[in-house]
Amino acid sequence: MAPLPMADDPLPRMGDATRAAFLSLLSRDELDRSRWHWSLWARKEQLPPPGDWRVWLILAGRAFGKTRAGAEWVRMIARTNPDARIALIGASLGDARAVMVEGESGLLSVGAPDRAPKFEPSLRRLTWDNGAQATIYGAAEPEALRGPQHSHAWCDELGKWDVSGNRAERCWDNLLLGLRLGEDPRILATTTPRAVPLLRRLLAEEASGDVIVTRGASRANIANLPRKFLKDMENTYGQSALGRQELEGEMLDDLPGALWTRAMFEQARVARVPPMKRVVIGVDPPASAHGDACGIVVCGLGDDGLAYVQADLTVEKASPERWARAVSNASAIWQADRVVAEANQGGAMVGSVLRAANSALPIKLVHARHGKGARAEPVAALYECGRVRHADMFPQLEDELCGLMVGGEYRGPGRSPDRADACVWALTELMLGGASEPRVRLA
């Protein structure tokens, strides 16, 4: 029988039939040990590419197997290079430890247990028996990489790195300046694509050959995923542009002349929201009883003076009674101070339907005197100024906002930007529709 391949040798890249034939020749003990030989089980795209590259970028959908590929690459470096000094960089120190080190596909979980590295949390350091070391860092603290030297680095979820104050690019630059140990310094970056400057920069370097990009969709890892997970994700995101990003691993391009860009949302996204001083629900009713969707978007004004998009509760093809009930429920759950509903389509009927669902609703009917683009431009300016945050990913809402063009044309999904209109009405009320503030008039 042929000997087992080296655990970290990127060859052989055997097909399924060859692999099955090889495994059938192994004894039970050999078969048990074979599970630690990554090259037997990895898909081709999870193995390091050949060539003289500096950066290997795995740009792929959720659950593609990026983390496992990263951990196995680091394990290969550590086992074959006792002098290796490896930087492990996550979006934060907590992310680096929870995912890259202690996660189900992290460094403490891959490889044979008796060959696992020693982890010293207080020092943020992993040490292998042969002397190789890895240190964890958070991209939110780019100055921590100013000074330390490394021979290799694994950077996880670059698309999630903090872009404020150019932190992500400063972190990357500090890493590159310290990547001067050994004869062949290299970086593996694993991420779901997002339209952030650092990823754009790396993709621009792909043509040079210094950056090798591996692309892939979530379904490539279907053998290791619950079928229900993939089905649910495709049902939720499959019809949206964000689904192409999160599941297909595509880098989404912005439409020329669009009021919103994907980068705006990435910069606006937050994990926590402060207490709200005021909550407004924007409503864009459908033009007919069973027409387009009824846009229902919840926005709040935080005690920090910023607006927060908190929920997209839009209902599709609903009767007037159903969408009015959805607005009423949203008002109760979010304790809304005001429900702002566009009354151009339906006039007084809109108010009547909403009051029939809940006579106590704090309704304000508004009439659009300008086109969608003109209404949306001041709200888009709020995003550009950093005065709006998103408390979650809102794929369909964000797709519609990215389809609103300067001049009023709509080039997004569907016939009408119902969600986007509702969001614009809510944010206008919160940030632009209050009492006039004193202004200084220049002579």
Q: Considering the domain boundaries, does residue 170 fall inside one?
A: yes
pLDDT at 371: 65
**Largest alpha-carbon pair distance within the chain?**
93
Q: Considering the domain boundaries, does residue 191 fall inside one?
A: yes
Between 143 and 317, the more confident residue is 143
Q: Considering the domain boundaries, does residue 230 fall inside one?
A: yes
Mean pLDDT, the chain, whole residue set: 86
Residues 154 and 171 in one domain: yes
Residues 191 and 273 in one domain: no
- Mean pLDDT for 191-198 is 86
Residues 74 and 185 in one domain: yes
Residues 284 and 359 in one domain: yes
pLDDT score of 3 more than 50: no
- Reported confidence tier of residue 434, pLDDT bands at 50, 70, 90: very low
What is d(CA 237, CA 219) in angstroms, rounded to the nearest whole number? Answer: 14
Q: At what angle do helices 320-334 and 348-357 cross, to 10 degrees?
A: 60
pLDDT score of 442 more than 70: no
- Reported confidence tier of residue 113, pLDDT bands at 50, 70, 90: confident
Residues 207 and 59 in one domain: yes
Residues 140 and 15 in one domain: no
Q: What is the CATH number of the domain that holds 87?
A: 3.40.50.300
Between strands 133-138 and 152-156, the pairing is: unpaired
pLDDT score of 211 more than 90: yes
Q: Considering the domain boundaries, does residue 255 fall inside one?
A: no
Counting residues of the chain whose pLDDT is more than 70, the rounded percentage is 86
Question: Which residues are CB-contacts of 395 (< 8 A; sequence separation ≥ 6)?
Answer: 236, 237, 240, 241, 242, 243, 246
pLDDT at 112: 84
Instruction: Give the structural domain span for 292.
Output: 262-432
Structural contact between residues 158 and 199, judged by C-beta atoms closer than 8 angstroms: yes
DSSP code string of 72-103: HHHHHHHHH-TT-EEEEEESSHHHIIIIIISS
Choose the final residue of a domain: 214, 244, 274. 244
pLDDT at 5: 40
Per the structure block, which two tokens stand in for 265? 């949302």
Q: What is the CATH number of the domain that holds 300?
A: 3.30.420.240
pLDDT score of 289 more than 70: no
pLDDT score of 178 more than 60: yes
- Mean pLDDT for 34-57 is 86
Q: Considering the domain boundaries, does residue 437 fall inside one?
A: no
Residues 304 and 417 in one domain: yes
- Reported confidence tier of residue 413, pLDDT bands at 50, 70, 90: confident
pLDDT score of 10 more than 70: no
Counting residues of the chain whose pLDDT is more than 90, the rounded percentage is 55
pLDDT at 1: 34
pLDDT at 23: 66
Choose the final residue of a domain: 182, 209, 244. 244
pLDDT at 42: 85
Residues 233 and 287 in one domain: no
Residues 33 and 56 in one domain: no
pLDDT at 435: 37
Most confident region among 17-26, 164-173, 234-243 by mean pLDDT: 164-173
Look at residue 33 and give its three-state secondary structure: helix
* Number of domains observed in the structure of the chain: 3
Q: Considering the domain boundaries, does residue 278 fall inside one?
A: yes
pLDDT score of 339 more than 90: yes
Per the structure block, which two tokens stand in for 424? 């614009």
Smallest Cα–Cα separation from 301: which of 276, 271, 281, 269?
276
Q: Considering the domain boundaries, does residue 178 fall inside one?
A: yes
Q: Considering the domain boundaries, does residue 251 fall inside one?
A: no
pLDDT in tens, 343-376: 866 556 788 888 888 878 898 988 876 666 678 9
Residues 14 and 61 in one domain: no
- Mean pLDDT for 279-302 is 88
- Mean pLDDT for 8-15 is 47
pLDDT in tens, 15-24: 666 766 766 6
pLDDT at 205: 93
Between 423 and 115, the more confident residue is 423
Between 25 and 208, the more confident residue is 208
pLDDT score of 101 more than 90: yes
DSSP code string of 361-404: --EEEE---S-HHHHHHHHHHHHHTT-EEESS--HHHHHHHTTB
Q: Considering just the CA atoms, what is the radius of gyration of the chain in Å?
A: 26
What is d(CA 406, CA 184) in angstroms, rounded to the nearest whole number? Answer: 49
- Mean pLDDT for 54-70 is 94
Choose the final residue of a domain: 185, 213, 244. 244
Look at residue 195 and give its three-state secondary structure: coil
- Mean pLDDT for 250-279 is 88
pLDDT score of 37 more than 90: no
pLDDT score of 91 more than 90: yes
pLDDT at 331: 95
Residues 74 and 159 in one domain: yes
Residues 37 and 59 in one domain: no
